[in-house]
Homo-oligomer: A and B are copies of this chain.
Amino acid sequence: MVRSGSASVAAGPTLAVVAREAGVSVPTASKVVNGREDVAPETRRRVTEALDRLGYARRPRFDVAKVPGLVDLVVHSLDTSWSGAVLHGVEAAAHDAGLEVVVSAGAGRTRGGRPERSWLDKLIARGSSGVLFNLAELTSSQYAWLEQHRIPFVMIDPVLEPPPGVVSVGAANWQGGVTATDHLLALGHERIAVVAGHQHTVCGNARVAGYRSALASAGLRHRPEYVRHAGFDESVAHRRMLDLLDLPEPPTAVFVCSDRMALGVYEALAERGLRVPDDVSVIGFGDLPESGWLSPALTTVRQPLSEMAATALRLLVRMMDGERPESTRTELSTRLVPRSSTAPARGTA
């Protein structure tokens, strides 16, 4: 109903129907929907149950005939090229849909050590039509809050597996891990290590699983000592690479699960007087703009961040129209970006 500029196609019951069902006045039902505190707990419970039972969908407050709708993008931090790519995709898709984007960096903001909830309160107060979260880890009470206020939301590349029913968009991380490892295998490498991200994240696990699958398909045995977790941190990656080089049989090629960690890997190799790609081949993951600034330029697996963000916006718009996506998880494909940091293994060229 937002896109069409007409408010007449709203799905579901009105607030008046909800109020009647709950046995309360419309202003009281409105208070519950808008997150106001001045409602008795028992009344809040009755209204919430009625909202659930009737499948009430929030309506945007603005005059849709005149003013473009607003959607919210909540990100962890704004000063990364990662968030720039996400914002680029969201803004362009929103523009196409006749929507505007309110940006908050609140997801990671704390006050006195505790996560600040003001961004959520603001979403409720303004009557947000819908929210995109990027790289956010929401608490179960925040999920419940969004659900209670009937605010449609989509996660872009969630760090942890979201609860059942939550809609998310990500990269095909497993396939990307296969792509990276296959590239190194095709160059004749057999001693291939992986500098991985966090062990318990959606993307970290899937990329390493893709690496293992590719090795297994090539008939190579799995060497646990070749898998090092560095938590997506550049300086930890630096130390893990030094550890790998200290092995009796050091790797001739490394799949680094993020471009940022590749920076630390390059430094470790330089410290040991090893050249990229002559001595060790390096492939990254992400294709951040920075990866072209490395010398030699980094071969990597492109993660389509802007496209993921645009897809999430389009899914959100459909949910704002009352639709449910067919699938709660959408994955967009990755692709190899060959540059100068990978070369044939010695003796195979």
A104 and B80 contact, CB distance less than 8 A: no
Q: Is the CB of B88 within 8 A of A78?
A: yes
A249 in contact (CB, < 8 A): no
Which partner residue on chain B sits nearest A266 by CB separation?
Answer: B295
10 A–B contacts from the bound complex (CB under 8 Å): A68-B126, A70-B102, A79-B88, A79-B289, A81-B81, A83-B84, A95-B109, A100-B102, A102-B103, A294-B295
8 further A-B contacts with Cβ under 8 Å, apart from A78-B91, A95-B105, are A81-B290, A95-B106, A95-B109, A100-B122, A263-B293, A289-B290, A291-B293, A293-B294
CA distance A126 to B63 in the complex (A): 10
Question: What band does the interface of chain A fall in when counting residues whose beta carbon is under 8 Å from B?
Answer: 35 or more
Q: A79–B309 Cα gap in the complex (Å)?
A: 12
- Flag if A87 contacts B103 (CB, 8 Å): yes
Bound-state CA distance A242–B341 (Å) is: 25
Top 8 nearest A-B pairs (CB, nearest first) are A79-B88, A293-B293, A78-B88, A295-B295, A84-B84, A290-B293, A78-B87, A79-B84
Contacts of A120 in B (CB 8 A): none
A101: contacting residue among B103, B270, B290, B295, CB under 8 A:
B103
What mask results when residues 84 to 104 of chain A are scored 1 for a CB within 8 Å of chain B, else 0? 110110011001000011111
Q: Does A66 contact B (CB under 8 A)?
A: yes
Interface string of A263-276 (1 = CB under 8 A from B): 10010001000000
**Given A91-B78, A294-B295 in contact, is the A66-B125 Cβ separation under 8 Å?**
yes
Most buried by B among A109, A291, A295: A295
A213 at the interface (CB under 8 A from B): no
Q: Which residues of B contact A106 (CB under 8 A)?
A: 95
A84–B91 touching, CB < 8 Å:
no
Pair B67/A78 contact, Cβ less than 8 Å: no
* A148 CB-CB contact with B under 8 Å: no
Assembled-state Cα–Cα distance A289/B83 (Å): 13
- Rounded to whole angstroms, the CA-CA distance of A101 and B102 in the bound complex is 5
Question: What separation, in Å, do the CA atoms of A231 and B270 have in the docked complex?
Answer: 34
A105→B88 contact, CB < 8 A? yes
Residue numbers in B under 8 Å from A295 (CB-CB): 266, 270, 294-295
Q: Is A306 an interface residue (CB 8 A)?
A: yes
Interface string of A282-297 (1 = CB under 8 A from B): 0000000111011100
